[in-house]
Chain A
Amino acid sequence: MSILDPKYETPPPEALQQLQLERLQALLVRLKRNVRRYRELVGDVRVESLADLARLPVTQPEDLANSFPYGMFALPLREVIRLHSAIGPEGRQLITGHTQNDIKHWGRLVARQLVAAGVTANDVIQINLGNGSSSSFSGYVLGAQTIEASVIAEDPFHIDYQLAMLQNYRPTVLITTPTNAREIATLLDQRRIDPQSLHLRSVLLSRPVTEAEQDQLQAGLFAKVQGNFGISEVLDPGFCVQCAEGHFHVNEDQFLVEVQGEELLVTTLAREATPLLRYATRIACALQRGKCRCGRTTATLVPGRRLDQRVLVNEMPLYQQQLREVLAHTAAAGHTAEFEIADRRVVISLSVSERIFDDRVRTLQSVQLEVESEFLARLGIEAVVRLVSPDRTRAAGVG
C-alpha cells in the first residue's frame, strides 16, 4: 500500500467532512471578497453543512470563457506565478492561474499519484504527452520534483527517437498518452524487441482506458499500467489518484465533488489564484463512497462520456467550432464541410462549390493541401480532405 499523505488520503469520514466544511466556508468568504462575479452570484447564502452546497450557484464553463482572461482571478496578477490555458466551450480559451502555494499543492497532489504507482526517488521518468499538453507536462514535472525522481526533460519528436531514449536513458517510468503507449507497444512488436529489454516498471497514462486496453498495454510494454483522470480547467493531473485496485480516488482535501444529474461538479477548496465553486465539468461521472481495498477512504469516481461536443483528435481535445475556424482561414472558407475523427486525424468531407471547382486536378489538390497544412499549423493535427459533391453533404444535413 503506497500512500503519500495518509492524513488526506485515508481520513475518517468525519475528519474529512470537517476539513471540507471549514475550507468551503473560508472559500466562500474569499470568493465574495475577491471575485465580483461570485459576489453577485453567491449573495448572503450561509453554508452550515456540506449539504448546503446544493444551494450555491453552479459555475458554467461559459462563465469562465466570458470572463477571459483574468475576470475570475481571486488575486492580483502579480501574485500569480504560472498561467495555463485550457480549451473551453466551443474551443474558447480559458486561463488558470497558480500562486506559489497552488504550485506547491499541485506538485504534492501529482506526487500522490506517482507514489501510488510505486514511483520513488530512484526512478527515471520519460514524459511524452504530445502536442498541446504543456500544462499536464508541468504537473508531472512538479510531482516528480516533489518525490525527487529524475525527469528526462527532452521531447522525442519521433517515435524512433522515443524508442532510442527508452533504450539509452533507461527510464523506469513512462508518462504518456494511451495512443503513444499503443504505438510503442506496436513498434516493439514489429521490430521484435523484447519489452523486457527496456527498463520500464511503470506506465502512467494521461487519461483513463478500459481494463482490456490496460491489460493489453501491460503485456505489450511489460510494465504496470495506471491511468489518470483530470479536468484541464480544474487540474490535470493531480485531481485524483488511481490506486492499485484501479479506482480513481478524488483528492478530497482539495476538491469537493458532487454529481448533479449525471454531470460532475467540482469545487476547489484550497486554490488561491483561480478558485472555482461548483464548476460544471461537462463530464458524466458516477461517485462512490466507502473504504477501498487500497486503504483510501476518499470518494472514487467512474468517469463517463463527455456531455458536450468535445472530441479527442490524436489525444488533443477539440471542439467542432475550432475545426470550422481553421477552415475559415483557407480557400475552403464558407464551404459546407463534414468532419469525422478517424485514426488520429480529422477527415474533412469538403463540398466543392463552383468557386473552388476547377477541372484542373492541380487546383483542387492545392485546396486540399492548403486545408491540410493549415490544420497542422494551427492545431498540430493531421487532416485529410475529401472533395465531395455538394449534394452529398446537403443530404447529410451538415453545414
Chain B
Amino acid sequence: MLLQVRNLRCGYGSLEIVKGVSLHVSPGEIVTLIGANGAGKTSLLRAIAGLLPPWQGEIRIHGRSVVGWPPWKNVSNAMVLVPEGRQLFADMTVWENLLLGGYHNPDRRMGIEEVFEQFPRLKERSRQLAGTLSGGEQQMLALGRALVARPQFILLDEPSLGLAPLLVHEVFAVIRQLRDQGVTVFLIEQNAVAALGIADRAYVMETGEIILEGEAGDLSRNPEVRRAYLGKSYKEIWE
C-alpha cells in the first residue's frame, strides 16, 4: 500500500469534519474520492498532505506514519498536492511557477523540460504571467508545477472545478497519462462521471464518513451513487 489511512478524524475548532475515515491507495492506481460539497473531502486531503493536523487516526505512506510531518517533508517523500482552485502565483510567469514547484529538487530544470514535453502549450507560454492563462491552462500549470517535483504520488483536489467540459476531458486525459507513467493518483472530485470514468477504485464520502468503496465501474452502477452523483433523480431511482 502506498497510502494507508485508518480511522482518521479531523476538523476545525470543535467541529468534526472527517469522522473516522479509512482508505488506501496502492501503487499505480488512480483512486477517486467523490462526494458532495461539504462532505469533508478537502479536509481529508489536507490532513493527508500535512496541512491539517488529525485529531485521531493513522496516515501511513509506504508503511511509515506521516502524522505530524510538515508538508515540505511529504514533498521530499515524493508526495505532492495540487490544491483546489490551482493556487498559482498569478503575478509570476509560467516558468517561475514551475521553478517553485521543484524548489527542493536540484534537477528542477530537467523536471521543467519534462513538463514542457508533456504540456507543449506551457512551453509556448513560459514567459506569460500565470494569471493571464485560461482556466484549462492554469490547471495544466498547476499539474505541471506538481510534476516538476517528480512525485510518485499526487493528490489532486477538484481539478475539474470551473472548467468547461472539453477542458475537463483534457485534464482527465493528462491524469490518465500520469498513471500510465507510473504515478499514483488520489483524485478528489465532485464531477463523479468524469472521476469514475478514469479511476480504478473509488470511495464515496457523505457527511464526513465513507459510505461506499469499490471498483469505479461498480460504483457507477450503484443505485445510491447514481441517485446522488450521476444526475439520476431521487424520484427516478427511489420512486
Measured CA separation A76–B238 after assembly (Å): 6
Check A23 for interface membership: any CB of B closer than 8 A: yes
Q: Are B210 and A29 in contact (CB under 8 A)?
A: yes
Q: Which residues of the partner chain B approach A21 to less than 8 Å between Cβ atoms? A: 6, 22
Q: Are B211 and A78 in contact (CB under 8 A)?
A: no
Q: Are B238 and A101 in contact (CB under 8 A)?
A: no
Main secondary structure of the interface of B (DSSP, over half): strand
Q: Which residue of B lies closest to A269 (CB)?
A: B213
Q: Which residues of the partner chain A approach B124 to less than 8 Å between Cβ atoms? A: none
Q: Are B210 and A26 in contact (CB under 8 A)?
A: yes
Q: Which residues of the partner chain A approach B6 to less than 8 Å between Cβ atoms? A: 18, 21, 48
Q: Are A15 and B238 in contact (CB under 8 A)?
A: no
Q: Are A18 and B20 in contact (CB under 8 A)?
A: no
Closest-CB distance, A31 to chain B (whole angstroms): 10
Q: Are B209 and A29 in contact (CB under 8 A)?
A: yes
Q: Which residues of the partner chain B approach A33 to less than 8 Å between Cβ atoms? A: 211
Give B residues with C-beta under 8 Å from A.
Answer: 1, 4, 6-7, 20, 22-24, 26, 203, 206, 209-214, 218, 221-224, 237-239
Measured CA separation A29–B214 after assembly (Å): 15
Q: Are B238 and A29 in contact (CB under 8 A)?
A: no
Measured CA separation A75–B203 after assembly (Å): 19
Measured CA separation A105–B203 after assembly (Å): 18
Q: Which residues of the partner chain A approach B237 to less than 8 Å between Cβ atoms? A: 76, 78-79
Measured CA separation A18–B213 after assembly (Å): 12
Measured CA separation A24–B209 after assembly (Å): 12
Q: Are B22 and A22 in contact (CB under 8 A)?
A: yes
A25: contacting residue among B20, B206, B221, CB under 8 A: B20
Main secondary structure of the interface of A (DSSP, over half): helix
Q: Are A22 and B24 in contact (CB under 8 A)?
A: yes
Q: Which residues of the partner chain B approach A75 to less than 8 Å between Cβ atoms? A: 223-224
Known: A48-B7, A272-B222. A26 touches B238 (CB 8 A): no
Q: Are A101 and B1 in contact (CB under 8 A)?
A: no
Q: Which residue of A lies closest to B204 (CB)?
A: A26
Q: Which residues of the partner chain B approach A19 to less than 8 Å between Cβ atoms? A: 24
Measured CA separation A100–B214 after assembly (Å): 14
Closest-CB distance, B184 to chain A (whole angstroms): 15
Q: Are B212 and A26 in contact (CB under 8 A)?
A: yes
Q: Are A29 and B213 in contact (CB under 8 A)?
A: no
Known: A48-B7, A78-B237, A104-B218. A99 touches B223 (CB 8 A): yes
Known: A26-B211, A79-B237. A18 touches B4 (CB 8 A): yes
Measured CA separation A25–B21 after assembly (Å): 8
Q: List 22 A-B contacts (CB under 8 A).
A: A15-B1, A15-B24, A15-B26, A18-B4, A21-B6, A22-B22, A22-B23, A22-B203, A22-B210, A22-B213, A23-B213, A26-B210, A29-B206, A29-B209, A30-B211, A48-B6, A48-B20, A76-B223, A78-B239, A99-B221, A101-B214, A270-B214
Residues of A4-55 whose CB lies within 8 A of B: 14-15, 18-19, 21-23, 25-26, 29-30, 33, 46, 48
Closest-CB distance, B49 to chain A (whole angstroms): 20
Q: Are B239 and A76 in contact (CB under 8 A)?
A: yes
Q: Which residues of the partner chain A approach B7 to less than 8 Å between Cβ atoms? A: 48
Q: Are A25 and B24 in contact (CB under 8 A)?
A: no
Closest-CB distance, B38 to chain A (whole angstroms): 17
Give 10 nearest A-B pairs by CB, closest first. A79-B223, A48-B7, A22-B22, A29-B211, A29-B209, A26-B210, A101-B218, A18-B24, A100-B221, A22-B213
Measured CA separation A18–B4 after assembly (Å): 8
Measured CA separation A52–B211 after assembly (Å): 18
Contact code string A88-108 (vs B, CB < 8 Å = 1, else 0): 000000000001110011000
